[in-house]
Amino acid sequence: MKEELQQKNNDKTFFGFWVYLMTDLLMFAALFATYAVLRNNTFGAPSGKELFSLPYVLIETLILLTSSFTVGIGTIYARAKDVVKTSIFFGATFILGVVFLWMEVAEFAHLFAEGNTPQRSAFLSSYFTLVGTHGLHITSGLLWMVLIFIFILKRGMSDSSIRKLTLLGIFWHFLDIVWIFIFTIVYLLGAI
């Protein structure tokens, strides 16, 4: 009876989380659509081609992809209830996430320093908003990771902890997929 209930709880939580992710994806879809409409409206300000450095973004992308890999391995160890290995791989994910975020902030700071602020043109408004929203998601993912590990320190590897780690893993992969679209649509298409 108890296990059945637990199973049912897990079932609806995971399904609910997927539904939430789809709504989040639609939010990004609306942002992408806005970007697609406004990307050529530079109003005399520099365009993406002049602003983006592809090698830099490629490194960012590789870092995020690697973090997705580590989070996947971490989830597998979490299911095996191996606390040490779970911590190592989630820790690696956390560090990669911080590096990614730092690179993004550095890129934004660089653009700001040269006067290319979001206020300068519609293209820059939509660029900062789209990429910045992704960055905010990464930030909340990192915060969530810290909280889960505090929770694990207190309660150990309970079923609830495993569930939380798995959900976080799904969230992280989702952000990875969104980033691939950003990489393609914003940076690659912007550079040609």
Partner 1 sequence: MENFIFGKLTWEALPHLWFTIAGTVSMTIMGIGAVAALTYYKKWKWLWKEWLTSCDPKKIGIMYIIFASLMLFRGALDAFMIWAQQSISVGASHGYLSADHFQQIFTAHGDIMVFFVTMGFLFGLINFIVPLQIGARDLAFPFLNTLGFWLYVAGAILINMFFVVGGDFAAAGWLSIAPLSELQFNPGIGVDYWIWSLQISGLGTLLGGINFVVTILKLRAPGMSLMKMPLFVWTSLCSMVLVITIFPILTVTIALLNLDRLFGMHFFTSGFGGNPMMYTNLIWTWGHPEVYVLILPAFGVYSEIVSNFSHKRLFSYTSNVMAAIAITLMSLLVWLHHFFTMGAGADVNSFFGIMTMFIAVPTGVQIFNWATTMFRGKITFDSPLYWFLGFVSTFTFGGMAGVLLSVPPADFQLHNSLFLVAHFHTMIIGGALFGIFAGLTYWFPKVTGFKLDEKLGKYSFWLWLIGFFVSFTPLYILGFMGATRRLDHYSASTGWQPLFITAFIGICIIGVGTAVQVYQIIVSIKNRKKNHDTTGDPWNGRTLEWATASPPPFYNFAVIPNVKDSDAFWDMKKSLAKDASMSDMDMITNPEKVSQLLAEKRKNQKYEEITLPKNTPMGIYLSLFVFVVGFAMVWHIFWLAVICLVGAIACFIIRAFDDETEYELSAEEVKKLEEK
Sign of CA dihedral 56, 183, 20, 118: positive
Distance CA 21, CA 7 (A): 21
Q: Is 5 in the site for partner 1 (CB under 8 A)?
A: yes
- Report if residue 87 touches partner 1, rule: CB under 8 A: no
Within residues 18-37, the interface with partner 1 by CB under 8 A covers: 19-20, 22-24, 26-27, 29-31, 33-34, 37
Does the footprint of partner 1 cover residue 10 (CB under 8 A)? Answer: no
Q: Among residues 98, 151, 157, 173, which is the contact residue for partner 1, using CB under 8 A?
A: 151
Q: Which is nearer to partner 1, 54 or 112 (CB)?
A: 112
Binders of partner 1 in range 35-54 (CB under 8 A): 37-38, 41-43
Distance linking the first and last C-alpha atoms of the chain:
60
Q: What are the structure tokens assigned to 129, written together?
A: 């908003």
Number of residues that bind partner 1 (CB under 8 A): 39
Pick between residue 49 and residue 53 the one whose CB is nearest to partner 1: 49
Site string for partner 1, 101-140 (x = CB under 8 A): -----------------xxxxxx-xx-xx-----------
124 CA to centre of own chain: 21
Distance CA 59, CA 12 (A): 38
Instruction: Name the residue among 9, 25, 36 with its Cα closest to residue 173.
Output: 25
